[in-house]
Structure 1
Amino acid sequence: MFTRVARRAFTTTRVNPYKVTVLGAGGGIGQPLSLLLKLNHKVTDLRLYDLKGAPGVAADLSHIPTNSKVSGFAPDNNGLSQALSNTDVVLIPAGVPRKPGMTRDDLFSINASIVRDLASAAGEAAPNAKILVISNPVNSTVPIVAESLKKKGVYSPNRLFGVTTLDSIRASRFISEVQGTNPTQEHVNVVGGHSGITILPLISQTKYSNMDKATKDALIHRIQFGGDEVVKAKDGAGSATLSMAQAGAVFANAVLSGLAGERDVVANSFVDSPLYKSEGIDFFSSPITLGPEGVTKIHPIGEISSEEAELLAKAKETLKKNIEKGVQFVNN
């Protein structure tokens, strides 16, 4: 699904012009993400915002000869509102990175207020924009954005997305390493959430469903906790920034493809979903179809094995708590 969309990202085909805003463009994810968006010919107006550094990043990127204007904004002179004004797509990678020993949920107390304030600003300046949340913990920050937009009276479930694409591209890479195959030809349906055991790669739906249990368990664990590898390898100097930037760019391209009216654009994302609302889980990641208005269809997760059903049950327990935590943060 993702590879099909990704291959179209850098073609020279004439497309509709779209305005895209990156909030947190000066950070470890924001800078490479902004670069990838500058190379996407669907983006003709790229706005970069951060507390510091965004004008410099914009000046740097502006020298790249693609058909897009790049502007950098800082907090002064109403910069946040200017960066968001009438934009089509907003990406939010703003926040602090994970450090050794931290989980995505450990980041909550720091990143929650950052995301809340940016969401409120987007609700005022770009009420119709598609909002793509990258800031961790996504399981909680997406509900925070939803509640913040509700307070502004502009919440639309089909326009809010939690970017879980990193789990999908990791799954493609990791399963290809196990099988000795080309990762660009692999796809794993990764559902649930975007943190630890809430990440559920459905190996039973791949052509490797008969993989031996030990190998499969190790693969699932690596997909769920792949971010820890990067944090450890960077020795406290950062978390997954480059791979997350690629994931954000791939999903942003899928959203832009949907906006452009391309057919059958399907990707996985953490969205306001009916799949498990009866169990009190208002958000869930599964395949969705994207169109001009955002989400046009939410697909069920499909048939799963008994082992995956057990993992799903555990994932939902944690996911429900994560979602409630985000909702309570805004409402309290």
Structure 2
Amino acid sequence: MVKATVCGAAGGIGQPLSLLLKLNPLITELSLYDVVNAVGVAADLSHIATPAQVAGFLPADNGAEKALQGSDIVVIPAGVPRKPGMTRDDLFNVNAGICATLAEAIAKACPKAFILVISNPVNSTVPVFAEVLKKAGVFDPKKLFGVTHLDIVRASTFVATVVGKAEDASKYSIPVIGGHAGATILPLLTQSEPKIVSILSDKSKRDALVNRIQFGGDEVVKAKDGAGSATLSMAQAGAEFAEYVLQAAFGGKSSKTVQAYVHLSADAGGEQIKKEIGADLDYFSVNIKLGAGGIEKILPIGEIDEQEKTLLAAAVKELGPSIDKGSKFQPPPPKL
């Protein structure tokens, strides 16, 4: 019996994400929460013939806590989407407040749940969650994840396209570390499997590929012309990462190496990461192994070339202030 809750279930990411989770055979109870339309989305999904029983909740009558009560995994795409001209930092003040409120409800209703944060800017919203959970005395760094998996999905897709094997995108594995915004996104092309020698030997091609992986979100925002940001691809990536967590925790399957933005105290390997990046950051998107309790092991970055070292330094420089912004965020006092 596994209960999953989606916070922000009626939004552009939330609806397709909820659909994909409804189709997951490991989930037996699916709870949907949003400020509007969650009940309708739940009714719609409830007609699909899979094991998960679906219920929708709105803010009235303490709806967030009711939705979250007893959840095993919480996936959070809640927040406003990015519009043309907006950076992820522009989103921060609105989305940080939403995240702080949801974190308080999680602390009360399901403090032992796995928490998967999609709400942007992830580099700052994950620290918001951590600080609220710390204040409530329920913070478990092994169970808090910033979902950066869309960067990994994009890297596989874009690399396969460049080498002329777009149909084989799922066969390419490229670790992406750092953070989840612009220059903080560091695709390790030198660690690609299979190897991509033709790209690595062509600087202009490599630079263009790295730039596209880092700013793929802007590509979608521009293409949608004010109508939204990356929603369908993010929903797929979020559902896929949730599947990794669920399989490790409840499916009895040992995890392959995946990447997520995590608190480096989750495992002793986090100290090695700090040495590799040359900075005392609390958060970084790293290679991890998942187990029944969440993060089982933080793995080293490994060998990278000079170009990747330069990109790493740029990512670290930008991440520090973003982490500080999230860690120091103070939710506004409630209106009387």
TM range (shorter): over 0.9
Residue matched to 1:194: 180
- Deviation per residue, 1:137-187 (Å, 9 max, x gap): 000000000001001000010010000000000000000110012101111
**Residue identity in the other structure for 2:284:** F
Instruction: Identify the match of residue 269 of structure 1 among 260, 275, 288.
Output: 260
* Kept after mapping to 2: 8 A contact 1:148/1:330: no
Rounded Cα–Cα distance in structure 2 between residues aligned with 1:300 and 1:109:
33
Taking only aligned residues, the RMSD between alpha carbons, in angstroms, comes to 1.3
Instruction: Identify the match of residue 56 of structure 2 among 68, 72, 78.
Output: 72
Instruction: Identify the match of residue 215 of structure 2 among 225, 228, 249.
Output: 225
Residue matched to 1:148: 132
Rounded Cα–Cα distance in structure 2 between residues aligned with 1:282 and 1:65:
43
Q: Secondary structure at the match of 1:43?
A: coil
**Residue identity in the other structure for 2:175:** N
Q: What displacement does 1:279 show?
A: 2.0
Q: Secondary structure at the match of 2:85?
A: coil
Rounded Cα–Cα distance in structure 2 between residues aligned with 1:218 and 1:330:
39
Instruction: Identify the match of residue 254 of structure 1 among 241, 244, 248.
Output: 244
**Residue identity in the other structure for 2:209:** L
Q: Percent identity?
A: 57
- 5+ residue gaps, structure 2, are 265-269
* Kept after mapping to 2: 8 A contact 1:267/1:288: yes
Rounded Cα–Cα distance in structure 2 between residues aligned with 1:192 and 1:94:
23
**Residue identity in the other structure for 1:263:** S
Residue matched to 2:106: 122
Rounded Cα–Cα distance in structure 2 between residues aligned with 1:289 and 1:330:
32
Rounded Cα–Cα distance in structure 2 between residues aligned with 1:61 and 1:27:
14
Instruction: Identify the match of residue 196 of structure 2 among 208, 217, 227.
Output: 208
Residue matched to 1:8: none
Q: How many residues align?
A: 316
- 5+ residue gaps, structure 1, are 1-16
Q: What displacement does 1:265 show?
A: 3.4
- What does 1:20-99 correspond to in 2, within 5 Å? 20-99=4-83
Moved over 6 A (4+): none
Residue matched to 1:238: 228
Residue matched to 1:7: none
Could you state the TM-score of these two structures normalised by the residue count of structure 1? 0.93
Q: What displacement does 1:284 show?
A: 0.5
Q: What displacement does 1:331 show?
A: 8.6
Rounded Cα–Cα distance in structure 1 between residues aligned with 2:63 and 2:80:
21
Q: Secondary structure at the match of 2:74?
A: strand
Rounded Cα–Cα distance in structure 2 between residues aligned with 1:142 and 1:330:
14
Could you state the TM-score of these two structures normalised by the residue count of structure 2? 0.92
* Kept after mapping to 1: 8 A contact 2:187/2:210: yes
